[in-house]
Amino acid sequence: MSAAYNGTSPAFGGDPAFAGEGAVVLGRATLGSGAWLGPWSVIRADGHYVEIGDDFHLGAHATVHIAHDVYPTHIGNRVTAGQGAVIHACTVADGCVIEREAVILDGSRIGPGAVISAGSIVFPRSELEGGWLYSGSPAKPVARVTEPELAAYHQRIRNEGAKPQDDGGLQTSLDCFVAPSARVRGTVEVGEGVGIWYGCRLDAGGHRIVIGDGTNVQDNSLVTCEAGEVVIGPDVTIGHNVTLTDCVIESGSLVGIGSLIAPGTVVESDVLVAAGTQTEPGQRLTSGQVWAGRPARAIGAMDDRKRKMLALTLPTYRDYANRFRATPHHPLNVTDPS
């Protein structure tokens, strides 16, 4: 589906070659010809623009976004992004491969023909030379990539994208902004001003998910109950492609893009969890700290600048939600391969 933002609709160089169930393109996005958009994938251009070249492949549950009015996103020709990858407010040159669940963060520039390995994190404002394989958090060069190797990376990720996805299910009606491609199942209780964004999956199972006032759960995040509840306090931001299971996130905290919060984790109030962080089961992330790493560890104290950034995110997302809630959505046209 596609939708306008602030009066601007996406522009396509031709019908997508494929648009899976729940795939969405929103706002000031321009796509070239032959785009392959996996099930529940999200391209969202609110606050700034997204420009994407020809032959773009975006895997299931992958996300392309901008950074409010600070950074746009530029993606070149024949770029391949795997399942669960996040391309956020950065520049990705021609021929790059971003493997499954890798994250590229704000202001980064990736040179042509680079490969970002699965689960790696490209830190903000990184400059990565083309023609290399990068891995780790932060992503660092590992080896040169030959042309035949690069072609094999593209083909492998695109073959994974062709596998069927089964993410259907019942939709629970909630009194908040729930994006049309989000799926909510079971007992989910929400406060005032909550936003549940595109591609999100919330499954309470036999327990409860509780989300406090003003909190936003950003695109393609997964919130599940397995053996207990998930409780998210007020004024919390859950970033893109975050996984939360049987945990507690207290008020005024932010969980960064691509983080994995393990069962039994407690994130106390006034905490910033950096992108790509993974906690251990039962871990407690104490208040007033920035946490990062795999496993998570405290790397510094919160300060006024970080608190201001967290506070500004909340009204920005409420504004986005109000605008998209008032905008009609339209199906994406798909070229018939026959």
- Our CA angle for 239, 26, 95, nearest 5°, is 80
CATH number of 177-302: 2.160.10.10
Residue-range domain boundaries for the chain: 2-161, 177-302
Give the tens place of pLDDT for each residue, 280-324.
Answer: 999 999 999 999 999 999 999 999 999 998 988 899 888 888 888
Q: Measured between alpha carbons, how far is 218 from 285 in angstroms, rounded to an integer?
A: 21
SS3 201: strand
φ and ψ at residue 142, rounded to 5 degrees: -115, -45
Q: Which residues of the chain have pLDDT under 70?
A: 161-172, 335-338
Q: Domain 2-161: give its CATH superfamily.
A: Hexapeptide repeat proteins (2.160.10.10)
Which residue is associated with the tokens 């891995």?
Answer: 135
Asked if 204 and 225 touch (Cβ cutoff 8 Å), the reply is yes
CA dihedral 312, 314, 320, 321 (to 10 degrees): -170
Q: State the pLDDT at residue 336.
A: 47
Q: What is the CA radius of gyration of the chain?
A: 19
Give the pTM: 0.93
Are 2-161 and 177-302 the same fold in CATH? yes
Q: State the pLDDT at residue 338.
A: 38
φ and ψ at residue 222, rounded to 5 degrees: -120, 120
Q: State the pLDDT at residue 174.
A: 87
